Structure 1
Amino acid sequence: MSEIKQLDVTIMGREFRVACPVEEETTLLQAVALLDEKMHEIRGSGKVIGIEKIAIMAALNIAHEYLHVDAGGFDIAAYKRRIDRINQVADAALQEQSELF
C-alpha cells in the first residue's frame, strides 16, 4: 500500500487540501496547474461568470481534450513528465558547466 500525502493547492485563488499517493504528487501538481490555467483562460474570456460555471467549463474542456488524446493512444502526461525530467537533467548539467567558469 502506498503512502498518502496531504497537499495544499491553490486553484483560482482558493486553497484546497487534497490527498494523493506520494508517487503521484508531481502528476497531481501538474493537474492543478492545468486546471488553474484553464479556469483563468475561461474567466479571462469574459463569457462565463461564476466560479462554479467556470469550473464546469474547464472540466468539459479538459475532458474533451483528453478524449481526443486518448482516442489516438497518445499519453501526453507521460511525455510531459519525460520532458520535465529531461529539462531537469539538462539544467543540472548546465549548472555544473557554469561553475567551471
Structure 2
Amino acid sequence: MKGAAPINIRILDKEYVVSCSTEEHEDLIASARILDERMRHARDVAKIYGAERIAVMSALNIVHEFLQALRAQENKSASTTQSITRVIERIDSALGENQPFPIESEKSSDP
C-alpha cells in the first residue's frame, strides 16, 4: 500500500486501528461512520443482540442496498442504451440511409 498510514476508527464503542493509504482516509472514516450507525440501529432499534450478530445483520443490509443500487444503475444504463439506439435508428430513417455514418479514420483510408 503506497503511502499507507494507520488510522483510528470507532465502531459500536470499540476502537480499531486500520492501515490504509492517505488518499483513502476520508472514505474509510465515512465507511466506519455508516457502519457504526447501522450497527447501532441494529442493536438499539431492531433489538439484535451480540456483536457478531449485529455485524452480520448490518453487513447483509448494507450489501443488499448496494446490490439494489447496482441493479438500478444497470437498468438505467440499459435503458439509456436502448434510447440512444432508437434515436440513432430514427436519425438513420430520417436521412434515408441504411449505412452507418463513416468514421473519420474510414474516410481517410480512401485515396
Q: Distance in 1 between matches of 2:73 and 2:25?
A: 24
Bigger relative contact order, structure 1 or 2, given CA contacts below 8 A and separation 6+?
1
**Cα distance, 1:17 vs. partner?**
0.5
1:44 counterpart letter in structure 2 = D
TM-score where L is the length of structure 1: 0.68
Gap runs ≥5 in structure 2: 75-111
Residues in 2 aligned to 1:22 and 1:70: alpha-carbon distance in whole angstroms: 27
Q: Are residues 1:26 and 2:36 paired? A: no
- 1:55 alignment counterpart: 55
TM-score by length of 2: 0.62
* Number of residue pairs the alignment of both structures matches: 74
Offset of 1:65 from its aligned partner? 0.6
Identity %: 35
1:2 Cα deviation from its structure 2 partner: 2.5
The answer to whether residue 67 in structure 2 is matched with residue 67 in structure 1 is yes
Return the index of the structure with the highest Cα Rg. 2
For 2:53, the aligned partner's letter is K
- Note the aligned Cα RMSD (angstroms): 1.6
